[in-house]
Structure 1
């Protein structure tokens, strides 16, 4: 998923900068390295959307799979559509929560990196992604070693490589299958870091969207493995949609940004069709409606229509999303497998979701925050030894 979600950041609305000129888009009176204002009202809705996306993915994994070769059928022993006749039609589309995560990630990463140095961007990603992830790798490995009925535990060497979060690039299996989304997130961060290093501006982000989009469109036919890896044609257009939405949020809408957003919507249909065929439980029409509705909600956020929503509990909800996503799948499916004959199915799923949320809060409070503080202090000190970046 950021998430995959891993794309959590300080989601705050940025006041509109002054505009000049009559070019093709708004031209802000800001220098590439200018820091954003210190105090900005938070975009609480983004936090809530993260949690909704995570819960959709979890519901899909627990109650929305139907193919005989899926773990969901190993859990229940019979089609989940018979056990959850009312919930299954909704849960069947829960996989689309991953695509929601990618859009949110594009929005939030652009927001959180604006006016920041590359080293700050790097540190922020490390302390956000790795603490909870390292715990999840250990926790999931131990759980699957003790209870390997659904998913076997990996070999020790494979587990060690998983700590890098780069296992997919080496062709190694994931400790938990949902970690594939982190590979997409990492590639996005890597190439967007290049733009951050030059100083983010409206023009540069638009050019990045166009160049990366073109690369994603032609990568599959290029026959160049490196281009295919960096362009990430299956996910790139969702990140690009998030970037365009953030530019609308920061600078206001214009025809160019509408064009980028519209093209991303069109090109994303290839991934939606592919996912529909792979999951084999939903329809393209349904996924199109859901994804379009989500983009409309994000558009409302971008244009300030949701600014009055300031429910403080949404901040906590957002902080739980990443740990929840990391631990819900392999361990959750295994728990369902062992308990499904002993507890009412609906009570079991509800209890597991609540239990996973409580565990996510504990991970965030006892692991993620303390370790992030330690890493931030250490990495900041390490970068300070490199000295200031030479002025060009």
Structure 2
């Protein structure tokens, strides 16, 4: 049993704080007037890199789970039990809460929109395949669709070809995606549209995490660095195209911070502070519920509170309340549901066997 790496829990806490700050102060200026000013503050504007931080953490810890799994199905079961309980609870909470926030259309979901999150398939793909329009219960669910497919792929490679092929296998879909424009011109637009929604462009961050783990355990190879560098170039080109060259700066900074955390005792101690690890403990549940509930509550409050200074402070209050909701989910509801899903019926005791 490998020891838990405390500073990674703290890093999860930091990652969710970055994402919350981005959604509260930069993502929705058209809905929250105060965000028209705060959206230009770099730390808030680039808080979306918290998702890349989550991806690197997942890449780092994935080999721990793979090494402790007896086979592919065992691995998938562990990952499903990790992701599904909180997803089910969060989805139902958002569904029920939707009726209380008619001010925001994204908080008035239909029951069919429960499906993408519960089966971890992005709604665009479901819509393309079925012809029925689906949407996520929350915009933040998109990264879970990316994570789930990553688990399917890396687990299949690990248990069929071996761990040395895991990093090379992750870059294959990235190369396929980068060549999509050529494939599309050959007459397969629907296929490429489906592939483009799988989130392969983000696999570079999983690869960074995997490579750091392999390096710390003395299993890194030179070609691993070349593959990861190529994956990062593909990923950076995507952000440059969509957000401009400036987007590369926060991406590089968060990557260097992640790597440095394993070599700097100061960063490790900082991330191990109780403040960060406590938030890290609830980070998954908080990630699932924070955006829709926080923005919906702030929109409602904005209808009554006309003071911009007060509104600017309210996200901290709302996020704090949601922290405790996430704590209840993480501490009680999620473990209870997970244990129920693990439950196996025991055979009836034989007569005379005692207890």
Aligned positions of 1:314-333 closer than 5 A: 314-333=276-295
Cα gap change, 1:302 to 1:311, in 2 (>3 Å): closer
Aligned match of 2:330: 364
Quote the Cα distance in structure 2 between the aligned partners of 1:95 and 1:161.
22
Determine which of 28, 37, 41 is the counterpart of 1:88.
41
- Give 2:253's aligned residue: 293
Aligned-partner Cα distance in 2 for 1:311–1:49: 8
Give 2:312's match in structure 1, choosing from 329, 346, 350: 346
Task: Say which SS state the counterpart of residue 367 (structure 1) adopts.
Answer: helix
Residues 167 and 174, structure 1, Cα contact 8 Å, conserved in 2:
yes
Contact 1:61 1:72 (C-alpha < 8 Å) held by counterparts: no
Cα deviation, 1:194-238, whole Å, max 9, x if unaligned, reads 12322743x222432443443343345323527825974422222
Q: Deviations over 1:269-298 (max 9, x none)?
A: 12322552xxxxxx532x322221222222
Q: Which residue of 2 aligns with 1:59?
A: 21
Structure 2 unaligned blocks of 5 or more: 128-133, 347-355
Query: Which residue matches 1:271?
Result: 238
308 and 89 in structure 1: CA distance in 2 versus 1, 3 angstrom threshold = closer
CA change 1:138–1:107 in 2 (3 A) is: same
Name which of 250, 256, 264 aligns with 2:217. 250
CA distance in structure 2 between the aligned counterparts of 1:163 and 1:258, rounded to whole angstroms = 35
> Which residue is equivalent to 1:181?
143
Cα 1:284–1:229 shift into 2, 3 Å: closer
Deviation of 1:72 after TM superposition, in Å, equals: 3.7
Structure 2 length normalisation: TM-score?
0.80
Contact 1:81 1:88 in 2 (8 A): no
More helix by share: 2
1:97 aligns with 2:63: no
Establish whether residue 131 from structure 1 lines up as the match of residue 131 from structure 2.
Answer: no
Q: Secondary structure at the match of 1:41?
A: coil
Q: Is the 8 A contact 1:191 1:230 kept in 2?
A: no
> Where does the alignment leave 5 or more consecutive residues of structure 1 unmatched?
1-37, 66-70, 277-282, 382-392
Look up the SS of the partner of 1:149 in the other structure: coil
1:259 equivalent to 2:226? Answer yes
Distance 1:302 1:206, change over 3 A: farther
- Quote the offset at 1:241 in angstroms: 2.2
The 2-side partners of 1:157 and 1:213 are apart by 31
8 Å contact from structure 2 (residues 117, 141) kept in 1: no
Quote the residue 1:148 is aligned against.
Answer: 102
1:107 lines up with 2:60 in the alignment: yes
Which position in structure 2 is the counterpart of 1:17?
Answer: none
**Residue aligning to 1:73:** 30
Distance change (3 Å), C-alpha of 1:114 and 1:302: farther
C-alpha spacing 1:362/1:175, structure 2 compared with 1 (3 Å): same
Aligned positions, number: 325
Tell me, yes or no, if structure 1 residue 234 matches structure 2 residue 201: yes
Superposed CA deviations along residues 120-148 of structure 1, whole A, max 9, x for unmatched, are 21111111111111111111111111212
Residue 157 (structure 1) aligns with = 112
The answer to whether the 8 A contact 2:290-2:322 is kept is yes
1:167-201 deviations in whole A, cap 9, x for unaligned? Answer: 52312111111112221112111111212322743
Q: CA RMSD in A?
A: 2.9
Matched residue of 2:145: which SS?
helix
Are residues 204 and 252 of structure 1, via their aligned partners in 2, closer, same or farther at CA, if it must alter by over 3 Å? Answer: closer
**Pair 1:199–1:43, CA change in 2 (3 A):** farther
